[in-house]
Amino acid sequence: MSTTLIDNPVALDPSEPHRFADGSAHAMFAQLRSEAPVHYCANSAFGPFWSICLHEDIVEIESLPKLYSSDVKHGGISIIDVNAGAAAYFESFIMMDPPDHSRKRRTIAPAFTPSEMGRLSQAIRERTAACLDSLPRGEHFDWVQSVSINLTIDMLAILFDFPWDERHKLRIWSDAITSLEMMRNRPQERTALLFDMASRFSELWQQRTNSPPAPDLLSMMLHSSDFGEMDAVEFMGNMATLIVGGNDTTRNSMSGMVEAFSRWPDQWDRLCTQPDLVPNAVSEIIRWQCPALHMRRTVLEDVDFRGHYFRAGDKVVLWYISANRQETLFPDGDRFIVDRPNARRHLSFGHGIHRCVGARLAELQLQILLEEMIRRDMRVTLAGQVEREPHPFLAIINAAPVIIS
């Protein structure tokens, strides 16, 4: 890896999906931070792009939305370009620039206030407790299937007030939205699933529009002045964004934490003896796992950045996975340390106007999961290899075989 970068840096493609499945991305980004923190890749499966690898550089770019755009018409927020002509194209508030983004976000934000978190916490705790109590002791099972997926899908159903007996569909749709394999090899099947999602949510849209306002997020959006006039495309884009944001990120953090505690069992011991560290441990889980590997911006006008010439239209990829392990900010950043003093400075939720609106809910779910595991004296240890998806945008964990002792 080191030789490739030093001898032929122009040929290096940091986005190659296999790097994020086999773990080699971390060594690559460590060297990029040292040798080429602003790096240009001329040829990749996703087209040419700039890589931004340092925490402070990412913060600066995300603080300038008038210069670096998230808008769908410029390609969106992922290295995987949005194709506006595709059947599965959706527009979303996360792929808007100010002032549209600000107005749309204000409508969603009340669903994630501290008071709302208090209202949801009891339901989260009850479902978490029931899930943990159902797990086998002394037998191998998959933590992803038995815990991570179930808890996050249930939470999404509660958040949307989605029909409970249909909640499994949320997982199917979320996986279809993000699946790189389906995009490449099964586009028609993926499109059919997304149209199925569109059809079901359109039915709910009509029902909630004709009903009095309710506290669920779907009703909140439909009865707001900012979202009330949105068309079907924008409505579905927002649903897709919220489903993926609420499912994949929290699910993969829940899965990544069992790997972290298995690799560093002393950190679990410390957490059990010092449960007041749980909130900080949650931040460390999200830093170390980094569920969103990057966000993408598009340059709107020519600019000199750290001595590099960005041209209008250039794709700029902000590698959160790199910033979260930056040695100058997070010493020994590859290690998982539950009392890391600055764990909350991670960039997994982004920075600036696009910082994840559901961050509090993600943290709450992880916090309650840890608290309930500690209450049950539940030590979870890996019983096999963690299986990660070769994906350049999301840190997807497909399987984590474990045993509880």
What pLDDT was estimated at residue 84? Answer: 52
Tell whether the model's pLDDT for residue 200 goes beyond 60: yes
| pLDDT > 90 fraction of the chain, expressed in percent and rounded | 66
Tell whether the model's pLDDT for residue 86 goes beyond 60: no
What pLDDT was estimated at residue 238? Answer: 77
Token pair recorded at residue 177: 């939205």
What pLDDT was estimated at residue 88? Answer: 43
Check if the beta carbon of residue 369 is closer than 8 Å to that of residue 254. Answer: yes
What pLDDT was estimated at residue 183? Answer: 85
Token pair recorded at residue 270: 């410390």
What pLDDT was estimated at residue 1? Answer: 40
pLDDT band with cut points at 50, 70 and 90 for residue 3: very low
- Give phi and psi for 204, each to the nearest 5: -65, -35
Burial environment of residue 122 by CB neighbours within 10 A (0 to 12, 13 to 18, 19 or more)? exposed
Check if the beta carbon of residue 246 is closer than 8 Å to that of residue 361. Answer: yes
Burial environment of residue 31 by CB neighbours within 10 A (0 to 12, 13 to 18, 19 or more)? middle
Number of Cβ within 10 Å of residue 25's Cβ equals 25
Average pLDDT, the chain: 90
Check if the beta carbon of residue 174 is closer than 8 Å to that of residue 247. Answer: yes
- Region of 55 (left: φ > 0; alpha: ψ -120 to 50; beta: rest) is alpha
Check if the beta carbon of residue 325 is closer than 8 Å to that of residue 346. Answer: no
Tell whether the model's pLDDT for residue 110 goes beyond 80: no
d(CA 274, CA 251) in angstroms, rounded, equals: 25
CA distance from start to end of the chain:
38
pLDDT band with cut points at 50, 70 and 90 for residue 272: very high
What pLDDT was estimated at residue 362? Answer: 93
Q: Mean pLDDT throughout 316-339?
A: 98
pLDDT band with cut points at 50, 70 and 90 for residue 83: low
Helix axes 265-273, 278-289, angle to 10 degrees: 160
pLDDT band with cut points at 50, 70 and 90 for residue 230: low
Tell whether the model's pLDDT for residue 87 goes beyond 60: no
Q: Mean pLDDT throughout 272-287?
A: 98
- Region of 263 (left: φ > 0; alpha: ψ -120 to 50; beta: rest) is alpha
Lowest mean pLDDT among 48-62, 155-169, 338-352: 155-169
Between 108 and 172, residue with greater pLDDT? 172
d(CA 323, CA 26) in angstroms, rounded, equals: 10
Check if the beta carbon of residue 293 is closer than 8 Å to that of residue 394. Answer: yes
What pLDDT was estimated at residue 228? Answer: 57
Tell whether the model's pLDDT for residue 39 goes beyond 70: yes
Tell whether the model's pLDDT for residue 195 goes beyond 80: yes
Domains in the chain and their CATH numbers? 2-404 (1.10.630.10)
Tell whether the model's pLDDT for residue 5 goes beyond 70: no
Beta partners for 304? 309
Tell whether the model's pLDDT for residue 252 goes beyond 90: yes
Largest Cα span, the chain = 65
pLDDT band with cut points at 50, 70 and 90 for residue 303: very high
DSSP run (H or E) holding 69: strand 68-69
d(CA 59, CA 19) in angstroms, rounded, equals: 24
Beta partners for 38? 52
Helix axes 232-263, 278-289, angle to 10 degrees: 110
